[in-house]
Amino acid sequence: MMRNNSTDSDSQANSDIAYPTQSLDWLTRLIAFDTVSRHSNLALIEDVQAYCEQLGLTVDLTFNDAKNKANLFVTVPAGENADQLNHGLVLSGHTDVVPVDGQEWTSDPFTATIRGDKLYGRGACDMKGFIGCVLTLLPQAVKLSNTGQLRRPLHLAVSFDEEVGCLGAPLILADIKARGITPDYCIVGEPTNMAMVVAHKGISIYRCRVHGKSAHSSLTAQGVNAISYASRLIGYVDELAEEISHRDDTLSDGDAMFDVPYSTLSVGTIQGGTATNIVPNLCEFTFDYRNLPHMTQDDILIPIQAKVAELSAQMQARAPETGIELIQAVGVPAMTDSDSAELQSLIATLTNDEQRHKVAYATEGGQFTNAGIPTIICGPGSIEQAHKVDEYVELIEIERCDTFLQKLLDSCTIK
């Protein structure tokens, strides 16, 4: 159970607040599973599966190639007289969390701990809090389904490996498509302080390997310097970054709703060479592209590929075995708001908040919109706390999420 380390003054200050015990119990249970992305998530998935099956629900699992990680998808079906049996609303969350290595936590990161008005633990806000709230809601949804009052199916999608490239969600989407399920909407419960996020940028990370030819540094003409050619390509990437930022900063091709209203491109890592007196035969670097929803990878990839071809030709004219590889390491699509007007209107009504937000970080929401499912992001906690030492979610945020999900369920109910 939760360890409560509140002081007497903390307890007194919060004694009149009725926090959602069941959701906090579920959050405690989920945090106790060490689902750092490098580990298996099967223990957590099997626990949630057992719970859903006790409620009489059919659970579908999709696995990674190693069979040590799984997604879970479960549907609370609409009542027999409903006209949307294959449609419905998806509530989506990921099970994996980022590592705690090198972080000095005040308490055990995998033991939920309440101090004052906050619950601490890895995944507390990103994003086991939302999953816990949804699991708490399921019994009521099942009861409404069994009595024929649920007019729209409610789906829960729980994925693996979101933190390392959103690897699990595409398997869920392929599976539900194969089974003929066509959800009307999706809500991804990433931490937004329960505000409505309607769009986010995409992320593409590329690894570039420049293969040169070694030679003694006194005989440079006999070699092909991988670092030198890498530097030329890096210089071109920087020029392109400057170009797209100036172009979009005019907002002719930008979006003022984003904190950074243009697409960004930047070099992140570089390594190469073995000694000062050796012409290096290998240099590797990575770069990161964060595109606005109306832009694509091709906006930067096509010109970079042309530059790669140009530089490779120059290298191979000196030594045919040389050249440049360009490898995509991560590709997470942007989430667009172009088709979610109805969903946005529903969320605005339920939250009594008309504000729309757009963010630079990426989620699985882009994969849902790419699959033709209108999506927004709305969940408990602040993104400012995600991935940090002593990650926490405010207890009032869990209460707000419970209230929101209850209103959402009510909107799917036949009165």
CATH code for the domain of 295: 3.30.70.360
Mean of pLDDT over the chain: 92
Cβ count near 70 (within 10 Å): 23
Question: Can you give the pLDDT at residue 79?
Answer: 77
Which ranges of 260-332 would DSSP assign to H, the alpha helix? 298-318
Would strands 89-94 and 154-159 be described as parallel, antiparallel, or unpaired?
parallel
Q: Do 60 and 156 have their domain in common?
A: yes
**82 vs 216: which has the higher pLDDT:** 216
pLDDT band for 4, please (50, 70, 90 cuts). very low
**Residue type at 372 in one-letter notation:** G
214 in the same domain as 340: no
17-26, 76-85, 108-117, 283-292: segment of lowest average pLDDT: 76-85
Q: What is the mean pLDDT of residues 358-362?
A: 92
Number of domains in the chain: 2
Q: Above 60 in pLDDT, residue 249?
A: no
pLDDT at 255 (0 to 100): 87
Question: Do residues 383 and 191 lie in contact, with contact meaning Cβ atoms separated by under 8 Å?
Answer: yes
Looking at the structure, do residues 377 and 302 belong to the same domain, yes or no? no
Q: Which of 322, 324, 318, 321 shows the shortest CA–CA distance to 222?
A: 318
Give the number of C-alpha atoms closer than 13 A to the C-alpha of residue 144, restricted to the C-beta side. Answer: 23
| Of the candidates 158, 162, 142, the residue with the CA atom closest to the CA atom of residue 97 | 162
For the record, the structure tokens of 385 come out as: 């706390």
Are 184 and 219 found together in one domain? no
Name, in order, each residue with C-beta under 8 angstroms of 177's C-beta and a sequence gap of 6 or more: 371
Q: Check residue 84 and give its pLDDT.
A: 58
Give the 3-state secondary structure of residue 26.
helix
Output the pLDDT for position 18: 55
Q: Are residues 103 and 231 located together in one domain of the fold?
A: no
At 13, is the pLDDT very low, low, confident or very high (cuts 50, 70, 90)? very low
Residues 186, 44, single domain; the answer is yes
Q: What is the CATH number of the domain that holds 379?
A: 3.40.630.10
Q: What are phi and psi of 82, to 5 degrees?
A: -75, 155
Q: pLDDT, tens digit, for every residue of 43-93? A: 999 999 999 999 999 999 999 999 999 999 999 999 765 555 678 999 999
Tell me which of 126, 161, 162, 399 is the catalytic residue. Answer: 162
Clarify whether 96 is annotated catalytic: yes
Specify the DSSP class assigned to residue 97. Answer: B
Residue 263 sits in the same domain as residue 157: no
CA distance 186 to 310: 44
Same domain, 359 and 259: no
Q: What is the pLDDT of residue 407?
A: 96
Taking residues 209-215, report their average pLDDT.
97
Alpha-carbon radius of gyration of the chain: 25
At 6, the pLDDT band (50, 70, 90 cuts) reads very low
| Residue labelled with tokens 């009510």 | 410
Q: Are residues 72 and 192 in the same domain?
A: yes
Instruction: Please state the length of the chain.
Output: 415
175 vs 69, 162, 172, CA distance in Å? 16, 17, 5
Q: Among 332, 362, 377, give the residue marking a domain's end.
A: 332
Residues 54 and 145 in one domain: yes
As a whole-number percent, the residues of the chain with pLDDT over 70 amount to: 92
pLDDT at 9: 40
- β-strand partners of 323: 211
Close Cβ partners of 10 (under 8 Å, ≥ 6 residues apart) = 115, 116, 117
Which of 299, 332, 365 is the last residue before a domain boundary?
A: 332
Please check whether residue 372 is in contact with residue 111, taking contact to mean a CB–CB distance below 8 angstroms: no
**Domain end marker among 309, 332, 355:** 332
Which listed residue (10, 25, 80, 96) is catalytic? 96
Q: Is the pLDDT of residue 12 over 80?
A: no
Domain housing 308: 202-332
Residue 342, pLDDT > 60, answer yes
Q: Is 299 a catalytic residue?
A: no
DSSP-assigned beta bridge partners for residue 270: 285
| Percentage above 90 pLDDT, the chain | 86
Position 267 scores a pLDDT of 98
Provide the whole-model pTM: 0.88
Helix (H) or strand (E) holding 105: none
Question: Are residue 357 and residue 403 in the same domain, yes or no?
Answer: yes
Q: Read off the pLDDT of each residue in 317-333 and give the average, rounded to a whole number.
A: 96
Long-range (24+ apart) CB contacts under 8 A made by 30-34 are 30/95, 30/123, 30/128, 30/131, 30/132, 31/110, 31/111, 31/112, 31/121, 31/122, 31/123, 31/124, 31/128, 32/110, 32/111, 32/112, 33/95, 33/110, 34/110
- Do 154 and 254 fall into the same domain? no
Q: What is the pLDDT of residues 381-400, one digit of tens each?
A: 999 999 999 999 999 999 99
8, pLDDT greater than 60: no
Tell me which residue of 79, 232, 53 sits closest to 148, measured CA to CA.
79
